[in-house]
A and B are shown apart, each in its own frame.
Chain A
Amino acid sequence: MVRKIFVIILLIGLGWFFYGMADSFHGSDSLNMTASYYAENGAEEVGAANLVTAIVVTYRGLDTLGEVTILFLTAAIAAFFLKSKEEFSKRDVKPSSELLQTAAGMLVPLIFVLGVYVFVNGHLSPGGGFQGGAIIASGLVLLLLSKPLQKVNSRFFALVESFSGLFYVGIGVAGIFLAGGFLDNSILPLGEFGTLLSAGILPVIYILVGLKVGSELSGLLTKFQETQEEN
């Protein structure tokens, strides 16, 4: 109880500070220096209709490389310290219902296709590699829920993950030689604005990100599934 009172006092202090911050926020009437640069030049320089994607993959490409690295890290850490249970395959788990199994069988391929669609079109419409990858992983969740005893080949995910990661770094390095610097988008021609095959190397990167995120999240999920203890 005393503890909660302290926490409340602390939160009041923090809240008071946050009040000051929110109070200093007045919205904006126009884009600031950075944003207006992107609004004016993004389409021309990167060739992506989705400006957020242009920023994520190109202008701030290093951040994106960093964030896939974080997912990679998480998967790697989980892999080396989540010990697989030896008795995994002998577990006595109730099978899921017929309904779920059938529906999953139908839906999972569709979900995968949707995921791929989302990351392939990341430079044109809302969505992108992360979103697509997450959708793919959600398909896997469904699969695992419907077939709890299914042994998933996590080695496959690891290979896809490493491959796409390496390819991503390779594209970045290629930018140094073929264009203006690490992760430069213009090593492929920008193409016609608004079409699928446009925006230079950006869609390729986003596909790789999609594959990488999808495989990393899937890898993580299988890892969790293998460690799962049923009573």
Chain B
Amino acid sequence: MDFGLVAVVVGFLLILIGIWGILTQKNIVKIVIGFSIFDTGLHAIMVGIGYLKGRTAPILDSAVSPADALTSIVDPVPQALVLTAIVIGLGVTALMLAYVVRLYDYRKSLDISSYEDLKW
């Protein structure tokens, strides 16, 4: 079984689920949750892309000597990228929640259709 492919497929499914949430949920907190799911999907895909069958983590310790690294570790780059992506996603989520808090302060509503002041 190729875990890489599984991660990618699951990732895409999570993205679709996340988008479903973003587009259909009226509650803005749920929309933010949709985003988190969307982000998780992204991260799964990234990790899946870097996976190589039968290999181990890219840490050179007693299990993997620097000499064998080329043949025994998975791709470290997507892991590095996903770390960055997670942090960025976290920042975005936090900021969105901050928006939610302030929006709620103004209108005491979490329905996204209460915030359509600017249009056309």
**Residues on A facing B (Cβ under 8 Å):** 3-4, 7, 10-11, 14-15, 18-19, 21-22, 25-32, 34-36, 38-40, 42-44, 49-52, 54-56, 60, 63-64, 66-68, 70-71, 73-74, 77-78, 81-83, 124-126, 128, 130, 193-194, 213, 220, 223-224, 227
Contact = CB atoms under 8 A, between A and B. Distances in A.
B75 A27 contact: no
Contact of A34 (B77, B84, B90): B77
Contacts, number: 152
Interface of B: 2, 4-5, 8-9, 12, 15-16, 19-20, 23-24, 48-53, 57-61, 66, 69-71, 73, 75-77, 79-81, 83-84, 86-88, 90-92, 94-95, 97-98, 101-102, 105
Given A7-B24, A35-B76, A126-B59, A52 B12 contact: no
B84 A63 contact: yes
Contacts of A11: 16, 19-20
A74 B75 contact: no
A211 to B, nearest CB: 15
Nearest to B53: A27
Contacts of B8: 22, 25
B84 A52 contact: no
A71 B91 CA distance: 5
Nearest to B12: A18
A22 B101 contact: no
7 contacts: A7-B20, A14-B16, A27-B5, A28-B75, A67-B88, A70-B87, A82-B102
